[in-house]
Amino acid sequence: KNRVSYFYDPDIGQFFYGQGHPMKPHRVRMTNSLVLHYGLHSKLEYYTPTRARAEDMKAFHADDYVDFLQNINPDNLSQFTRELREYNMYEDCPVFSGLYEYCQISAGGSLGAAVKLNYQTADIAINWAGGLHHAKRSEASGFCYFNDIVLAVLELLKYHQRVLYLDIDVHHGDGVEEAFLTTDRVMTVSFHKFGGGYFPDTGDIHNCGQGKGLGYSLNVPLRDGITDEAYHQLFRPVMLKVMEVFQPEVVVLQCGTDSLAGDRLGVFNLSSTGHAACIDFMKGFGLPLMLLGGGGYKIINVARCWAYETGLAVGADMDEKLPPNEYYDYYGPVGYTLTVKPTSRWEDQNSAEYLEGLRQTILERLSRLAAAPSVGFHERAPD
């Protein structure tokens, strides 16, 4: 039976990126409502995270960037036009009321999750408000301001020699890959849509790390419309080989739900069952596991998927019929059901040949990594 720690701050739902902006923190509040009304909270340890401090953020982010985010608000914007441009804080990454507090909550949950895993007081630690994988050291990107994942991985590295980061968001986990590009203590694996200028337009199969980290960044570039079955024909053999070759001591899994069918920004055709199967597969290795949020822009799908994945973590059976909850009416269009189903709208553009080519290329690369002398993991002194 897994000991599950779950981090949730009731304030998260009140932050608002702005009219028409696809990122809606309210989805985390909707997720939590389902978690409570399904009775999952009785099977886990439920925490309000300690908000991350500026010094916590500065473990990865540049001091001036952190200081700027602490001081900026919608009323003093006009004084900071140069900085706003420098830090990429316009359009996708607007300054909204309470922005810094929102970041403190998101990062605080992921740091809290890392501490639980470090102290071995949880087997699985969950922060659905985290997973903001695009943020860079001194730049906001793709709706992300602080990279809670990088902060959490740095925390985990204090107690673990090797950390695996896995990203099943529809977008490439570029900020995390970049942060750990040159180390062999963190392997980053990202399954994502690539091609046609799709954001962030990185994560080609040929990008695989640098220097000491060469071979420790793994990118699985997919095309539009991928189905559960096709996804897992790649996911299972690749992750099995990653686990065998890298032998991580802890796994951080970014569970962005924009890879689900029907997402406002996503282009995949996964069901929530197919998405959750990734978590189930990784959970099967029995290693300490952190589950984080990420993208997801059709909020009734986000909430249903993350609630289902919380249930999976605690080993609960969940009724397909949604329980009454504060947001029950939202779910009318999907018949008040739990499962996110694939749509007929997307044609799968991932041919069997394309997927087989990817599988072979990636498995060969992992085999070469296993044969490389630097993989004398067990006797290497900590960096």
Residue 324 tokens read as 């009454």
- For residue 77, give the nearest of 89, 64, 61 by alpha carbon: 89
Catalytic residue among 21, 41, 61, 134: 134
Vertex 284 angle, CA 112 and 156, to 5°: 30
User: Residues marked as binding for substrate?
Assistant: 92, 142, 297
DSSP 8-state secondary structure symbol assigned to residue 136: B
The rounded distance, in Å, linking the Cα atoms of 131 and 366 is 26
Long-range Cβ contact pairs of 87-93 (< 8 A, separation 24 or more)? 87/138, 87/139, 87/140, 88/139, 88/140, 88/141, 89/140, 89/145, 92/140, 92/141, 92/142, 92/143, 93/140, 93/141, 93/142, 93/143, 93/144, 93/145
* Partners of residue 47 on adjacent β-strands: 7
DSSP string, 235-260: HHHHHHHHHHHH--SEEEEE--GGGB
User: Residues marked as binding for a divalent metal cation?
Assistant: 169, 171, 258
Sheet strands side by side (includes 45-47)? 45-47, 4-7, 124-127, 289-292, 250-254, 163-167, 186-193, 217-222
Asked about 134 being catalytic, the answer comes back as: yes
Distances, alpha carbon 44 to alpha carbons 4, 13, 280, 302, 310, in Å: 5, 21, 17, 20, 9
Contacts of 192 (CB under 8 A, 6+ apart): 167, 169, 170, 171, 172, 173, 203, 219, 220, 221, 222
DSSP 8-state secondary structure symbol assigned to residue 199: T
Q: Are strands 186-193 and 124-127 parallel, antiparallel or unpaired?
A: unpaired
DSSP 8-state secondary structure symbol assigned to residue 262: T
Catalytic residues: 134
